[in-house]
């Protein structure tokens, strides 16, 4: 799962604009998530686990400055071994996003956390992508990716047993690479959150892996209950004393 031209695009005004929003949101979300093992799949240029306190945090991918080189469609980790996975834009440029998601579900522990970011097709970004395809000019990165809507992604997650816990939309400015226009469009962030929150150019979803049929067994903190039917054990001495009185 390689992402063509992502390195160069991240250095553009538009790339910096998107990643500034994503880093802020992901950092705020993962700071209070605990466990033993955490993974970030892709975008090694940005450490999205920096604010998390899980002791073992690794970045994996097929290229770049990663800790583990691997294909996300075949994760080299044991089942039920990872507590948290962060996936920034792992699906838009993959030939098999379903397989990646199945592997993520396999390695996550029950109640494990999954954080996903992606480009929103129901936005100005999606409109620009659609018009580019019609006019045969849709080759600009990242508009040439396969955008997956939040509703479709929720369906995929639910089929694998995930519960979607929360989500956010952001980056309401049009997808232009002019720094001056991006600054002029800052007012659209507050307006978008209030009036058309579903139409942000980028979204973030947090999901929790559920295992149906599991039941949490709590310890008995109170005093032990009396024996069934009020029966209590007596010593041999007490038994002999009672026999002599009779």
Domains of the chain: 6-216 (3.40.50.150)
Predicted confidence at residue 105, as pLDDT, reads: 97
Determine contact, residues 56/38, Cβ cutoff 8 Å.
yes
Q: Scan for tokens 């920034």, then name that residue.
A: 88
pLDDT band at 2 (very low <50, low <70, confident <90, very high): very low
Alpha-carbon dihedral of residues 229, 230, 236, 239, nearest 10 degrees?
A: -100
Average pLDDT estimate for 147-161: 94
Q: Structure tokens of 21?
A: 């929003």
Residue ranges of E strands in the chain: 37-41, 56-61, 68-69, 82-88, 108-119, 162-170, 202-209
Tallying the residues shown for the chain, one arrives at 246
pLDDT band at 134 (very low <50, low <70, confident <90, very high): low
Partners of residue 167 on adjacent β-strands: 205
Predicted confidence at residue 106, as pLDDT, reads: 97
pLDDT band at 225 (very low <50, low <70, confident <90, very high): low
Assign 89 to helix, strand or coil: coil
Give the mean pLDDT of the chain. 84
Could you tell me which residue, 236 or 163, shows the higher pLDDT?
Answer: 163
Q: Choose the weakest-confidence range: 88-97, 120-129, 130-139.
A: 130-139
This prediction has a pTM of 0.81
């Amino acid at each position: 799962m390689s992402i063509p031209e992502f390195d160069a695009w991240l250095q553009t005004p538009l790339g910096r604009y998107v990643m500034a929003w994503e880093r802020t949101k992901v950092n705020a979300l993962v700071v209070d998530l605990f466990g033993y093992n955490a993974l970030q799949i892709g975008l090694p240029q940005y450490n999205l686990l920096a604010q998390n306190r899980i002791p073992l945090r690794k970045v994996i991918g097929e290229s770049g400055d990663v800790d583990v080189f691997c294909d996300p469609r075949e994760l080299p980790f044991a089942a039920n071994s990872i507590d948290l996975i962060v996936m920034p834009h792992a699906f838009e440029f993959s030939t098999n996003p379903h397989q990646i998601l199945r592997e993520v579900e396999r390695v996550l522990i029950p109640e494990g956390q999954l954080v996903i970011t992606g480009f929103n097709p129901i936005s100005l970004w999606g409109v620009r992508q659609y018009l580019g395809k019609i006019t045969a000019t849709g080759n600009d990165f990242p508009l040439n990716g396969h955008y997956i809507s939040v509703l479709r992604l929720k369906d995929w997650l639910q089929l694998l047993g995930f519960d979607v816990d929360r989500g956010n939309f952001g980056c309401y400015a049009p997808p232009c690479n002019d720094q001056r226009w991006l600054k002029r469009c800052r007012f659209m962030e507050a307006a978008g959150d209030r009036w058309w929150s579903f139409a942000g150019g980028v979204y973030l979803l947090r999901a929790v892996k559920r295992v149906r049929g599991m039941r949490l067994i709590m310890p008995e903190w109170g005093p032990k209950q009396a024996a069934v039917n009020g029966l209590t054990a007596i010593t041999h001495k007490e038994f002999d004393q009672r026999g002599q009185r009779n």
